[in-house]
A and B are shown apart, each in its own frame.
Chain A
Amino acid sequence: MNKTYNAFDTAREQFDKIAELLDLEQASKDLLREPLREFHFSIPVRMDDNKVKIFKGFRVQHNDALGPAKGGIRFHPQETIDTVRALAMWMTWKCSVVDIPLGGAKGGIICDPHNLSQREQEQLCRGWVRQMARNVGPLIDIPAPDVMTTGQHMLWMLDEYEVIYGGKYPGAITGKPVGIGGSLGRIEATGYGLIFTVREALREMEIRVEDTKASVQGFGNVAQHAIELYNKLGGKVILVSCWDQDSGKSRAYRKTDGIILKELQKITDNFGGINKEKAIELGYEVLPGEAWIEQDVEILIPAALENSITAENASSISDNVKLIAEGANGPTTIEADRIIKEKGIFLIPDFLANAGGVTCSYFEQVQSNTNYFWSKEEVLSKLDAKMTDAFISVSDLAKKQKIYTRDAAYILAVDRVARACSSRGWT
């Protein structure tokens, strides 16, 4: 019988490969391929009909050698512990690659919020904190919003935590709204972070940003902010693609002398869907969504979906393309990766390119812990420094070891964690 797809197995396979390359000690391998701690617990909730229902809660702290663990809390009806384990491990690497002093964790509750009232969800959040209060906190493990949880859920959790500890601990949770312990710059963080790495990559390749053109897949929050900064730096985006709700297809909008971000934003819905008719009125050329990859540009930015660069379409990438910056999670399939490598295109891997988000969460935590909140400019300049450093480290390693950037990023991330464990005498 076929073995079913298991996210944790995949994550461990990836790790094993890197561990081999790094020639890690067996103890390090054993420690890092499993979570450091797991919490499984029950959360009783008195429902609106006055009956009590028991929900299952989890928290997996994969590793906290670099600092307090950090990771989202998911509400999911068919959550499995293996999915949570895999996600916790990825968090460890993600924090490590940008060199922020945080470990990796993930948690959740098996539930479907569609079947829960707001009050019941609040009780779930508070129940989760009551069970975990001793094992989370600003110095231990910092939860954040994730699938089907929002800033609202985080505020309930924080409130419960503060009730239990009888004080104010805004650094116990991130993802809070601005004004209640949230950080400015979060909306821009991922898109800007992506372009900071693009800028550094171009600098290494000795290409002036002003001399480049880019084609962007997606027009959501990440893409729009990336385009904003890229334009500011002098680059020109000639095409964006987006999903068209009505037709159930993706479409691309092209203006060879450069799209105008502001005018497109005016005709875009909250999901990054561009109004086709209005775009035509504005003089945009409408192409099938797949066209984004075939453009004669220097930079490709996939910032929409997983698996959008495949073995089939990777061959249609123009020879002019010098750089691919992965704004989305997992946009490139393994087969496509090979083609990109062969073509000698510089690739900024997803967990480095889109690490602006987690970096900003770290900044939120720092600001919360000191109870001093920075201006947006300060947040973004610190983000710039962090992303630039991270990029340089990855790039240097890639050059030094003559390895693909994706592998370099991975190696760097795992190595940092392994060394921290070793220094602490754990392995």
Chain B
Amino acid sequence: MKKLEPMEILLRDLKERSKELNCLYQVEEILHKEGMPLGKMFNDIADTLPSGFQFPKIAQSRIKYRNIEYKSADYTETTCELKSNILYQDKITGEIVVSYKQESPQTACVPFLKEEVKLITTIADRISYVIQYRNLKDVFSEWQTMKKDLKKEVISEWHIILNMLNRTDRNLYVYISQKMLHYLCWNGIEDAKNLLEKYNTQNKLYKSAQTTYTNSPTDKSNTDTIVQISNDIFRIAARHLTDHHILTNIQNWIEEDKSRFLVRALDNQNSSLDDIINAITRYKHITSDGTILSASAEKGLRVSLIRYFFSDQLDFIKIAKNHITVKHYYDLIEKIIYPSGSHGRLGGKSSGLFLAMQIIKEVKDNPLLKQIQTPNTWYISSDGMVSFVHYNNLEGVMEQKYKELDEINIEYPNIVQIFKNSFFPPEIERGLAMVIDNFGENPIIVRSSSLLEDSHRAAFSGKYKSLFLANTGDKEERLDSLKDAISEVYASLFSQDPIEYRREKGLLDFNEEMGIMIQEVVGRKVGKYFFPSFAGVAFSKNDFRWSSRITREDGLIRIVPGLGTRAVDRLADDYPILIAPGKPSLRVNITSEEILKYSPKYIDVINLETNTFETIEFLILLHEAGQDIPLIKQIISVYSDGFMQLPGSLVNIDFNSKNLVVNFEGLFSRTDFIKQIKETIDLLQLKIGEPVDIEFAHDGKNLYLLQCRPQSYTSENFPSPIPRNIKPEKMIFTADKYVTNGQVPDITHVVYIDPDNYNSLNKLSDLKNVGRAVGKLNKILPKKQFILMGPGRWGSRGDIKLGVDVSYSDIKNTALLIEIARKKGNYTPDLSFGTHFFQDLIEASIKYLPLYPDSDNIIFNNLFFNHSGNSLSDLLPEYSYLESTVHVIDIPKSWDDQVLKILMNSELNRAIGYLSDTD
């Protein structure tokens, strides 16, 4: 075959193009003839179409509409056809076909140009529109006529609507009729029930509807049946319901129908996250006019959405459905990153926070709650991690959890490295690039949000990683660090700690997936650092009471300056400030010494210069940039003249002074902060139906909620069940006042300071030596397997008679500290609740229990305490002269290999200590 020159090709293309445009022009002419009957229109178009094709002489065309065919002259069937459908209300009602009477001269395989394909599609679309336009025009003119008639005779408005629906949207017409029939039946209308039975209406309606818009011509009898049944239904309706009632119902059902695609998408097991998000977006546009669904329909939709995005836990759904509406997803879906075909959820942390925030936003008339915000947050669906694993062929890692712990431990660092050197699937990578654009250069935190965090009441808090990013540098660098952080969080799923925990709790076989929350870090830039003014955690229930006047219901706040990491975790070398929002005036630390000692000395920050998370000395930060820290006046007090004083104005603060102390006095006593937190946790507890714990941060302007979950998920101290069947001879003591939660199992030694004998010691040095002996016992007894019991106030300074003279380091290995208050005449002294080292006890998880042996219904086994063998002389011969005061009871030795178990239940306000065989 002769090869065409470039110029010839160009000329040929231009000729083809003009042919197509001519044809299109002519078809437009035909379509614009309004009065022309459809049949004529189709015939004319069929005759015109061949002129638009490359080989007009051999081209032919055929149009089929509602099973009637309109053909060009001499039409013969061939195999080489170009076809496009004619649609009416999204249903195929016909087709346009162009073909060549014989094989094309050039090639048998590709007879049509791509421009020709476009041409026929365009014409098919134009025909579809014209048909629709003509139909609607008819309906409108009928509507105008009816409106005129309405004035003359009584025709109900709903009647007209129904009529229009029958003409324009048969599906909806059938749906509405069916809804009305069910509505009548549900309302006990006999005629309707009979009708249902008589026609087996549902089937007929459906069948009729299904067969209406196929490629066959309208089935006259079917149409009649539908109209007949519908007429019957609405005749009954007209008898039993008012016109207004019927109209309202029809309107509601029409609205409801609009959202059915969303319901269908959610009901469909195969719908991916992408499908659902598209459906929500469509729903958003459809309902932008303020459409309101019926309560039940809306609720159904809410539940399906919650199940899809957040959780299928019934407890969660039960609450969330009352607060998370369809509208709340409009913004959320813009911020979800997911792999193609995703069926993932957002995970526990995300769910808790999203729900809490909707609950708070619902309250309109509370200015304090209104100020609460959440940081800008993006989400990666939980199967993002699975897709990451598959994309990098790392499937083997999924079996990691079944390996031996040692093996897991050894392999974990390698897994982290492999993950960090792996790639993200393109769709996730694209999403992360958007995240980086959206956050700009604000520091971010990448937090785990796993399915187990949500689905089981397992304290998964802190088991997976959360990583801070300074997020500085060019876009590529920032994206790389973000990806690096996400890989590391993903890898933390395979570290020893969570796997061991899952093994213990029988959760190993659970298909754990890891969602990710990418949050803007709340805070401000101060010098080279970035951090919030303060942050912390708050609990509905206070498990650590430091005064008998504080109840569990008074709650607890742990608050620190800077990032909240120091408040969330127990600290070995520092202390957060504690306060009970229900009794804010009862502070833990009263004396200046206590306030100084138990004030935070360090602060966690993000160093923007080195791009690292750092812990720095707070005083040094104050020296460097104290005056730039927002709210600094509310955070610190000045230790001067022997007591803490609020700083006056900023100019009065000497930021170089060593006497600046973090105690948040200004925040607590001069702002609404405590009230704001209290109202938040109270509201969340009320709506969620159980105590909650929240994380918060403040940037100097607004308070941000960072996390919310039921407190029972995180509490390390569960209320211990108290068995009732313990034999009396095994009981050692009981308590029923100020009991906290917890268990102290397997105690082998009790150090018991006899209150009467202690009180009888008449030499100061003897009294002091009781403390020294305790300090020495603390070093030699098995760690956390002994308890200390003694009179009054342990560690009390001032009068030694009040309690044993010890410092925290003298008692730090005990599992439990018991203070005993024996009655003196009619008077039972107050106990200290461990206030002298209260915060040390908390940070070291040492439990505390007050005992009142002389109260009614209390057991205190004097035989055990006074007549068990005393090991003091064996252990510390130098203190044997204190034997009558200091009793060291080796329980397994004295009591047949038994151990002491102590169970404490705050809810019952009851604790018991009893002897038991070792487990």
Query: A residues near B, CB below 8 A?
Result: 1-6, 48, 74, 76-80, 83, 112-120, 145, 147-148, 150-152, 175-178, 182, 186, 245-249, 270-271, 307, 333
* CB-CB under 8 A for A114 and B590, given A2-B761, A271-B597: yes
Q: List 14 interface pairs A-B (beta carbons < 8 Å), by A numbering.
A: A4-B761, A5-B761, A5-B764, A6-B762, A79-B799, A80-B801, A114-B590, A114-B835, A150-B591, A245-B597, A270-B596, A270-B639, A270-B659, A271-B597
CB neighbours of B832 from chain A (8 A): 77, 112, 114
CB neighbours of A119 from chain B (8 A): 585
Residue in A2, A79, A150, A246 whose CB lies within 8 Å of B642:
A150
Task: Judge whether B793 and A77 touch: CB under 8 Å.
Answer: yes
Is B798 located at the chain interface by the 8 A CB criterion?
A: yes
Chain B stretch 700-749: residues in CB contact (< 8 A) with chain A: none
CB neighbours of A113 from chain B (8 A): 590-591
With both chains docked as a complex, state the minimum distance between the C-beta of B769 and any C-beta of chain A, in angstroms: 11
* CB-CB under 8 A for A78 and B573, given A5-B761, A117-B585, A152-B643: no
Task: Judge whether B762 and A2 touch: CB under 8 Å.
Answer: yes
CB neighbours of A80 from chain B (8 A): 799, 801
Task: Judge whether A271 and B549 touch: CB under 8 Å.
Answer: no
Is B593 located at the chain interface by the 8 A CB criterion?
A: yes
* CB-CB under 8 A for A248 and B808, given A83-B799, A115-B830, A182-B641: yes
CB neighbours of A271 from chain B (8 A): 593, 596-597
Q: Which of B573, B596, B801 has most chain A Cβ within 10 Å?
A: B801
Is B645 located at the chain interface by the 8 A CB criterion?
A: yes
With both chains docked as a complex, state the minimum distance between the C-beta of A362 and any C-beta of chain B, in angstroms: 17
Closest partner residue, chain B, to A145 (CB atom): B642
Q: Which of A3, A78, A245, A246 has most chain B Cβ within 10 Å?
A: A78
Closest A-B pairs by Cβ, 5 of them: A248-B809, A117-B585, A150-B643, A177-B641, A113-B590
Is B759 located at the chain interface by the 8 A CB criterion?
A: yes
**B811-827, CB under 8 A of A: which get 1 and which 0?**
01000000000000000
With both chains docked as a complex, state the minimum distance between the C-beta of A13 and any C-beta of chain B, in angstroms: 12
CB neighbours of A78 from chain B (8 A): 792-793, 799, 801-802, 829-830
Q: Which of A4, A76, A119 has most chain B Cβ within 10 Å?
A: A4
Task: Judge whether B548 and A115 touch: CB under 8 Å.
Answer: yes
Residue in A5, A83, A176 whose CB lies within 8 Å of B767:
A5
Closest partner residue, chain A, to B838 (CB atom): A114
CB neighbours of B639 from chain A (8 A): 270
Task: Judge whether B763 and A48 touch: CB under 8 Å.
Answer: no
CB neighbours of B658 from chain A (8 A): 270
Task: Judge whether A147 and B641 touch: CB under 8 Å.
Answer: no
With both chains docked as a complex, state the minimum distance between the C-beta of B87 and any C-beta of chain A, in angstroms: 75
* CB-CB under 8 A for A175 and B573, given A5-B764, A248-B808, A270-B659: no
Task: Judge whether B798 and A76 touch: CB under 8 Å.
Answer: yes
Is B547 located at the chain interface by the 8 A CB criterion?
A: yes
Residue in B760, B763, B768, B835 whose CB lies within 8 Å of A1:
B760
CB neighbours of A248 from chain B (8 A): 807-810, 812
CB neighbours of A186 from chain B (8 A): 641
> In the bound complex, how far is the Cα of B802 from the Cα of A114, in angstroms?
15
With both chains docked as a complex, state the minimum distance between the C-beta of A287 and any C-beta of chain B, in angstroms: 19
Task: Judge whether B592 and A150 touch: CB under 8 Å.
Answer: yes
Is B397 located at the chain interface by the 8 A CB criterion?
A: no
Closest partner residue, chain A, to B665 (CB atom): A118
Task: Judge whether B590 and A120 touch: CB under 8 Å.
Answer: no
> In the bound complex, how far is the Cα of B765 from the Cα of A115, in angstroms?
30
Task: Judge whether A112 and B762 touch: CB under 8 Å.
Answer: no
With both chains docked as a complex, state the minimum distance between the C-beta of B659 and any C-beta of chain A, in angstroms: 7
> In the bound complex, how far is the Cα of B640 from the Cα of A4, in angstroms?
39
With both chains docked as a complex, state the minimum distance between the C-beta of B420 and any C-beta of chain A, in angstroms: 33
Is B586 located at the chain interface by the 8 A CB criterion?
A: yes
Is B546 located at the chain interface by the 8 A CB criterion?
A: yes
* CB-CB under 8 A for A77 and B830, given A5-B801, A117-B586: yes
Task: Judge whether B573 and A246 touch: CB under 8 Å.
Answer: yes
Query: B residues near A, CB below 8 A?
Result: 546-549, 573, 583, 585-588, 590-593, 596-597, 639-643, 645, 658-659, 661, 669, 759-765, 767-768, 792-793, 797-802, 807-810, 812, 829-830, 832-833, 835
With both chains docked as a complex, state the minimum distance between the C-beta of B778 and any C-beta of chain A, in angstroms: 10
> In the bound complex, how far is the Cα of B874 from the Cα of A267, in angstroms?
43
CB neighbours of A118 from chain B (8 A): 585, 669
Closest partner residue, chain B, to A110 (CB atom): B830
Task: Judge whether B549 and A5 touch: CB under 8 Å.
Answer: no
Task: Judge whether A112 and B830 touch: CB under 8 Å.
Answer: yes
> In the bound complex, how far is the Cα of B830 from the Cα of A79, in angstroms?
12
Closest partner residue, chain B, to A75 (CB atom): B590
> In the bound complex, how far is the Cα of B587 from the Cα of A119, in angstroms?
12
CB neighbours of B765 from chain A (8 A): 307, 333
**Given A5-B767, A115-B548, A152-B643; 17 other pairs, CB 8 A cutoff:** A4-B760, A5-B801, A6-B762, A48-B583, A74-B798, A77-B832, A78-B802, A115-B549, A117-B585, A118-B669, A119-B585, A145-B642, A151-B642, A152-B645, A245-B597, A248-B810, A271-B593
Task: Judge whether B798 and A147 touch: CB under 8 Å.
Answer: yes
Closest partner residue, chain A, to B550 (CB atom): A115
CB neighbours of B573 from chain A (8 A): 246
> In the bound complex, how far is the Cα of B592 from the Cα of A77, in angstroms?
17
> In the bound complex, how far is the Cα of B296 from the Cα of A102, in angstroms?
85
CB neighbours of A175 from chain B (8 A): 642
With both chains docked as a complex, state the minimum distance between the C-beta of A174 and any C-beta of chain B, in angstroms: 11
Task: Judge whether A115 and B799 touch: CB under 8 Å.
Answer: no
CB neighbours of A48 from chain B (8 A): 583, 585
> In the bound complex, how far is the Cα of B759 from the Cα of A150, in angstroms?
30
With both chains docked as a complex, state the minimum distance between the C-beta of A296 and any C-beta of chain B, in angstroms: 29
Task: Judge whether A116 and B809 touch: CB under 8 Å.
Answer: no
CB neighbours of A150 from chain B (8 A): 591-592, 641-643
Residue in A115, A182, A270 whose CB lies within 8 Å of B586:
A115
Closest partner residue, chain B, to A333 (CB atom): B765
With both chains docked as a complex, state the minimum distance between the C-beta of B847 and any C-beta of chain A, in angstroms: 19
CB neighbours of A77 from chain B (8 A): 793, 802, 829-830, 832
With both chains docked as a complex, state the minimum distance between the C-beta of A14 and any C-beta of chain B, in angstroms: 13
> In the bound complex, how far is the Cα of B643 from the Cα of A271, in angstroms?
14
> In the bound complex, how far is the Cα of B760 from the Cα of A24, in angstroms?
33
> In the bound complex, how far is the Cα of B592 from the Cα of A148, in angstroms?
8
Q: Which of A112, A113, A247, A333 has most chain B Cβ within 10 Å?
A: A112
> In the bound complex, how far is the Cα of B17 from the Cα of A29, in angstroms?
131
CB neighbours of B767 from chain A (8 A): 5
CB neighbours of A245 from chain B (8 A): 597
Task: Judge whether A177 and B645 touch: CB under 8 Å.
Answer: yes
CB neighbours of B810 from chain A (8 A): 248
With both chains docked as a complex, state the minimum distance between the C-beta of A125 and any C-beta of chain B, in angstroms: 13
> In the bound complex, how far is the Cα of B800 from the Cα of A76, in angstroms?
12
Task: Judge whether B643 and A5 touch: CB under 8 Å.
Answer: no
CB neighbours of B659 from chain A (8 A): 270
Task: Judge whether A148 and B591 touch: CB under 8 Å.
Answer: yes
Closest partner residue, chain A, to B836 (CB atom): A114
Task: Judge whether B597 and A247 touch: CB under 8 Å.
Answer: no
Closest partner residue, chain B, to A175 (CB atom): B642
CB neighbours of B597 from chain A (8 A): 245, 271
With both chains docked as a complex, state the minimum distance between the C-beta of B501 and any C-beta of chain A, in angstroms: 30
> In the bound complex, how far is the Cα of B763 from the Cα of A147, in angstroms?
22
Closest partner residue, chain B, to A176 (CB atom): B641
CB neighbours of B593 from chain A (8 A): 271
Residue in A4, A79, A177 whose CB lies within 8 Å of B759:
A4
> In the bound complex, how far is the Cα of B767 from the Cα of A175, in angstroms?
32
